[in-house]
Structure 1
Amino acid sequence: MGSTSTLLRQCLALALLTSALTWAAPAEAKPWTAATGAIALAFFAVISLLRHRRVQQLTAQIDEVLHSGRTVRFEKCREGDVAVLANELEKMVARLARATDALQKERGALADSLADVSHQIRTPLTAAQLMLAAIEQEDDPRRRKHQLRQLESQMERISWLVTTLLKIAKVDAGAIRVQANPVNVAQCMRRAASPLETALDLRDVALETDIPLDAAFTGDELWTAEAIENILKNCMEKTPAGGHIRVSACETPLATTVRITDTGPGIAPADLPRIFDRFYRGDEGQPAPSSSEDSAVRLSAAAPEGFGIGLSLAQALISAQGGTLQAANGGHGGAEFTLTFPKLVV
């Protein structure tokens, strides 16, 4: 309505201008002036009406985008400034469609992730509840002490799980601050292996390193150490007693590579494509224990040792620094993890 009124006012102003010019013109030029003004007024009115109709079409199509769907085309507006506006609107609609699809995918992934988190936390919580009931009914001090240690272990597992999930959530949200400083590989390796020294001794697994003292890369030492620690922990859990884990590094003008291998059974071919998937574990489907006073102990023993998020977190932390983490089976058996930190970004 507003644009129609504007069009009428413009036509009226042009008609008044034509009348004024016709009145001021000499007598012999008045017919030509009036005819020229009438033609100009008609041309202006036609062009304005066509543009007004195109704008109305765009308005209707935008309204359809907002209230009905998003598969809207603007082929009818092919020239002029209205066509430029139509093209920009079509780009906006396409971008909004992509954003909507991405949000729907993220919503589905979030729902799946919450279901996985609920499932992973439920197992140790159930074991802890069963342990509490067994401890209350236990009269033997030695058995009670043993069960209390197992309960403490379950609490540590839950605490580690929640902490790791929070870190993964921060990585997904882009909320972690990754430094870009020179990192000495040997020093970073010592930081990563330090928390696992006792566990390695108890499992009789040796840790061997072959890292040049000057090997370095640009990244975040703390987050890289956390990623390597998760990889070492995974290798330690898969390596039998008497085995070893070997860490080597090499530096070239293009990249710094850290390779971690173990003497375990390696990665099953079916597990390789999903080794870094969150909550994925190859040993699933353990039978549920029957109800008895030792059910909590059997539940804890039957469950896989990890939660399936350590390697996922490691890959996320390395990727956040611009590096890559790959998994494969070594040439002589065992798993092989390769961390690459490029020096040149093409």
Structure 2
Amino acid sequence: MLRNREFRKFSIFFSLIAAATVMLGFAINTLAGILSIASVTAFGTTFFTFTKARYKSIAQISDQIDLVLHHADRLYICESDEGELSILQSEITKMTLRIREQNDALKKEKEHLSDSLADIAHQLRTPLTSVNLILSLLENNPDENKRKALIRETKELFVQMDWLLTSLLKLSRLDAGIVVFKSEQIDANTLISAALHPFLIPMELHDIALQTDVPKGILIQGDSGWLSEAIQNILKNCIESAGDNGKIEIVCEDNSLFTEIAIHDSGAGFEKEDLLCLFDRFYRGKNAGVAGYGIGLALCKTIITRQGGTITAKNHPQGGAIFAIRFPK
């Protein structure tokens, strides 16, 4: 307590007043002097005891805050009676708990970032290893036809890596919250046509039949560019699953509660253990293609959910997989 300058000043001031009071009491008569001494002693003792207890509580709070600053696992500040000190204790407890929550969130983000970087490195290592092997074969292969085939394969690998890096960049922008989605009325026919456009030639080359049932006049609220990106990722997955001579069906339905876009392919469908993890980042199911990275569906879900929609995937009763995107009214 004596380290507090205000307390030292008060002690000196109180001592002067107490001395003056006692002297004045004895100047009146002996009984008045004795009564002054008793009063000053009682008041001084009560004040010192109360102040000491108050400083002890403040010291406990200070010790607890120091533990928090040194990464203590627990925080406990004993409860006080109602008053300013109790309010202070309550506010400090709230503050420290909030700081701990933020620290825990930062730790989780760091762990997630570390895991993501490890996954990215692993995903890139596979095509890079293949490119390195192909370059070695090109160097030692005199056959012109085989060299051309190896060059085409190298180009395909670079295209895959470009798609992977682009998708990861989009995911990172979405995670960082720097993407601002537009809110506009989108015609469902226009949206699906825009999403299908890049795949029309590949589907024709692989003899994949396309059937669409999208009534006119159906409108969806959202960002057309990003929603087209999401649907393209689903179509890419369905085309790979359907394979040569496969079939893809797109059906759009509208009711008073929601608008649904369902995309059904004639592929092998999903394994039961894959259904719960399909939209997890970097997850690759048992039936995933060699070129799969586990990015497309994760990106798709992030885009749709950030705009208030939902996406589910399951096995169709008639075979193959079906993705359902719903936008509530």
Superposition TM-score, scaled by structure 2 size: 0.88
Which of 87, 94, 103 lines up with 1:100 in the alignment?
103
SS in structure 2 at match of 1:273: coil
Aligned to 1:326: 312
Bigger RCO of structures 1 and 2 (CA < 8 A, at least 6 apart): 1
Amino acid across the alignment from 1:222: G
Q: How does 1:83-94 map to 2 (within 5 A)?
A: 83-94=86-97
Aligned to 1:230: 233
Equivalent pair of 2:189/2:214 in contact (CA under 8 Å)? yes
d(CA) in 1 for partners of 2:310 and 2:86?
Answer: 45
| CA distances 1:221-247 after superposition (whole Å, capped 9, x unpaired) | 111100000001100100133322111
SS in structure 2 at match of 1:270: helix
Gaps spanning 5+ residues in structure 2: where?
none
d(CA) in 2 for partners of 1:41 and 1:322?
Answer: 67
SS in structure 2 at match of 1:257: strand
Give the drift of 1:98: 2.3
Give the drift of 1:23: 9.1
| CA distances 1:161-209 after superposition (whole Å, capped 9, x unpaired) | 1111111111122122212222222211111111111111111112222
d(CA) in 1 for partners of 2:20 and 2:311?
Answer: 81
Equivalent pair of 2:246/2:267 in contact (CA under 8 Å)? yes
Which of 177, 181, 185 lines up with 1:182 in the alignment?
185
| CA distances 1:269-309 after superposition (whole Å, capped 9, x unpaired) | 11111111222212489xxxxxxxxxxxxxxxxx7132121
Aligned to 2:75: 72
1:152 aligned to 2:155? yes
d(CA) in 2 for partners of 1:258 and 1:23?
Answer: 96
Aligned to 1:8: 8
d(CA) in 1 for partners of 2:310 and 2:93?
Answer: 37
Give the drift of 1:19: 7.0
Give the drift of 1:132: 1.5
d(CA) in 2 for partners of 1:14 and 1:223?
Answer: 75
Give the drift of 1:103: 2.3
1:51 aligned to 2:54? yes
Residues 78 and 180 (structure 1), Cα distance of their counterparts in 2 relative to 1, 3 Å cut: farther
SS in structure 1 at match of 2:273: coil
Residues 189 and 14 (structure 1), Cα distance of their counterparts in 2 relative to 1, 3 Å cut: farther
Aligned to 1:161: 164
Q: How does 1:133-144 map to 2 (within 5 A)?
A: 133-144=136-147
Report which stretch shifted further, 96-105 or 326-335.
96-105
Give the drift of 1:40: 4.8
d(CA) in 2 for partners of 1:8 and 1:33?
Answer: 23
Amino acid across the alignment from 2:151: L
d(CA) in 1 for partners of 2:94 and 2:251?
Answer: 50
Give the drift of 1:15: 5.3
Give the drift of 1:14: 4.7
Aligned to 2:209: 206
Equivalent pair of 1:328/1:335 in contact (CA under 8 Å)? yes
Equivalent pair of 2:270/2:287 in contact (CA under 8 Å)? no
Amino acid across the alignment from 2:193: R
Amino acid across the alignment from 1:9: K
SS in structure 1 at match of 2:251: strand
Give the drift of 1:78: 4.1
Aligned to 2:328: 342
d(CA) in 1 for partners of 2:328 and 2:21?
Answer: 76
Give the drift of 1:33: 8.0
Aligned to 1:278: 281
d(CA) in 2 for partners of 1:70 and 1:18?
Answer: 49
Give the drift of 1:312: 0.8
Gaps spanning 5+ residues in structure 1: where?
286-302
Q: Cα RMSD over matched residues? A: 2.8
Give the drift of 1:138: 2.4
Superposition TM-score, scaled by structure 1 size: 0.84
Report which stretch shifted further, 132-141 or 217-226.
132-141
Residues 248 and 18 (structure 1), Cα distance of their counterparts in 2 relative to 1, 3 Å cut: farther
Which of 244, 249, 271 lines up with 2:247 in the alignment?
244
Overall identity of the aligned pairs, in %: 35
1:257 aligned to 2:260? yes
Amino acid across the alignment from 2:4: T
Which of 104, 111, 115 lines up with 2:114 in the alignment?
111
Equivalent pair of 2:2/2:8 in contact (CA under 8 Å)? no
Amino acid across the alignment from 1:108: E
d(CA) in 2 for partners of 1:186 and 1:23?
Answer: 101
